[in-house]
Copies of this chain bind each other. A is one copy, B any other.
Amino acid sequence: MNYPNGKRSSIQNNAPRGKKKTDFSNRGMSLEEDINVTNEYYLQAGVAVVHKKPTPVQIVQVDYPKRSAAVIKEAYFKQASTTDFNGVYRGKYIDFEAKETKNKTSFPLSNVHQHQVDHMKSVQEHGGLCFMIIRFTPLDETYLLPSSSMILYWEDQWNGGRKSIPYPYIVKEGIQIPFHYQARVNYITAIDKLYF
């Protein structure tokens, strides 16, 4: 999560980002926002309980003004040690990272970090359902790719392999995620096809 202009609209705005439900066009909303909207719908509809983890921040200095809330005056973004989303579906642990790319022909592995891959491997070993949600923005296509399929390419890059996952591989090994009016990234349908 970056704040390119260094500002959030208002500190009073404590609503989850996914609550912005006025814009129903698929264009213009980030993948993360679409997934937040989807998770909110899943929660309300009793489908699944999935949340985005807060952005990890290293807090250095906090002021405590009289009669007002504590103000963080100095803090730094930390690299996340896990993936962005996790939760429960049908009793199973689910865990995923979401990334969008402007590429049309492949997904660059530079979007993923080693510690995230380590985390995904651990989750797999413990029987969790672990995957990536990858959106090819220019194609307006979004896929669920099992982390195990991603990791094959990840490992191969250290053995002289390519630094990106070809689009046709993702189409073949992944499941395309349909758009749904309320569940904008309706990834549960892909989970059902793949794991249940």
Listed in ascending order, the chain A residues whose CB lies under 8 Å from chain B are 3, 6-8, 11, 13-14, 16, 43, 46, 48-49, 51, 53-64, 69-78, 80-82, 86-95, 119, 122-123, 125-128
A51 near B3 with CB under 8 A, answer: no
Q: Give complex CA distance A11, B71 in Å.
A: 17
Interface of A, helix, strand, loop or mixed by DSSP: mixed
Among B48, B63, B95, point to the contact of A126 (Cβ < 8 A): B48
B59 near A3 with CB under 8 A, answer: yes
Q: Give complex CA distance A16, B78 in Å.
A: 11
CB contacts (< 8 Å) of A56 on chain B: these are 54
Q: Give complex CA distance A123, B43 in Å.
A: 10
CB contacts (< 8 Å) of A14 on chain B: these are 58, 78
CB contacts (< 8 Å) of A128 on chain B: these are 49, 88, 91
Q: Give complex CA distance A70, B6 in Å.
A: 9
A16 near B88 with CB under 8 A, answer: no
CB contacts (< 8 Å) of A86 on chain B: these are 86-87
B123 near A49 with CB under 8 A, answer: yes
**Residue of A8, A49, A119 with most partner-chain B CB within 10 A:** A49
A11 near B60 with CB under 8 A, answer: yes
**Residue of A7, A13, A86 with most partner-chain B CB within 10 A:** A86
A74 near B71 with CB under 8 A, answer: yes
A59 near B90 with CB under 8 A, answer: no
